[in-house]
Amino acid sequence: MNSQALTAVHWPQALPSPWQAMWGLLRRDLRLALRRKAEWLGAVFFFVVVAALFPLAIGPEPDTLRLIGPGVLWVAALLASMLSLGRLFEADHQDGSLEQMALSAAPLSWLVSAKVAAHWLISGLPLVLLSPLLGLQFGLSSEALAMLALTLLIGTPVLSLLGAIGAALTLGVRGGGVLQSLLLLPLYVPVLVFGAGAVESQMRGLGAQAHVSVLLALLLATAAFSPWACAAALRLALE
């Protein structure tokens, strides 16, 4: 057997790159979400119901509805995002997939980023798309509706990234849902304040550039920090 044949026999199979591993995990989570529609449709249904009930409870006064609309929709989106966090890592932890991810050649932080992206696509993006429709019942102007969708488009990934940290820290902990809420709600407050504040500033004609800039800064900061914090917390949970 010549040297070329020996090289062909003993050459190791190429491992998938981190990008390929991320893309494969993202597609896998999206396929699982399509099979388990109740898990993410529940959060979307909660968002719609909460946003629809407030006008019925407050009354038909247009000025009041316009005043509370941005805050109500942002709070509803925040709570809806939290509903689906419990299953972010739990299913993989139960079937052993999480241990395989931790032992794989791809960095765990990269795989966590793929799972967070899948979580946002199935639970955050639908809220962004539905928000202009739900905002109509509060009498919001077209400019306010556009700003609402923009702030949710920037802010809901921040909620998913911060929520992933809470989900990783409480993985396997008894009563983890309550502890998760206590950990996350203080972290969610800045996103809520600047998200709703941007819409209110737009309605008053004051300009929302400052609020949007803060939301973008929060997105960049959490995108840089959250995957590594989640990876560290998951390794501790697996020990």
Instruction: Give the pair of three-digit tokens for residue 167.
Output: 């989900």
Q: What's the pLDDT score for residue 238? A: 82
172: helix, coil or strand? Answer: coil
Kindly give, in sequence order, each residue whose CB lies less than 8 Å from that of residue 231, ignoring residues fewer than 6 positions away. Answer: 107, 108, 109, 112
Q: Residue 10: what pLDDT?
A: 40
pLDDT at 152 (0 to 100)? 96
Amino acid (1-letter code) at residue 232: A
Residue 15: its pLDDT value, please? 53
What is residue 157's predicted lDDT score, i.e. its pLDDT? 95
The first and second tokens of residue 221, run together, are 């900061």
107 torsion bin: left (phi>0), alpha (psi -120 to 50), beta (else): beta
Q: With contact defined as beta carbons under 8 Å apart, do 98 and 91 qualify? A: no
Report pLDDT for 96.
82
pLDDT for 98 equals 85
Q: d(Cα 105, Cα 19) in Å, to the nearest integer?
A: 12
Lookup: tokens for 44: 């979307």
Euclidean distance between CA atoms 124 and 144, whole angstroms: 19
pLDDT in tens, the chain (239 residues): 444 443 333 433 445 677 888 888 899 988 888 887 777 788 889 999 998 888 888 877 888 888 899 999 999 999 998 888 877 888 888 888 888 888 888 888 899 999 999 999 998 999 999 999 999 989 889 999 999 999 999 999 999 999 999 988 888 777 667 788 888 999 999 999 999 999 999 988 888 899 999 999 999 999 999 999 999 999 888 87
The confidence score (pLDDT) of residue 83 equals: 85
- ∠ at Cα 204 (198, 210), nearest 5°? 35
Please give the Cα distance from 151 to 43 (Å, whole number): 19
Tell me which residue of 134, 119, 161 sits closest to 75, measured CA to CA: 134
DSSP letter, residue 165: H
Round to whole Å and give the CA distance between 187 and 194: 13
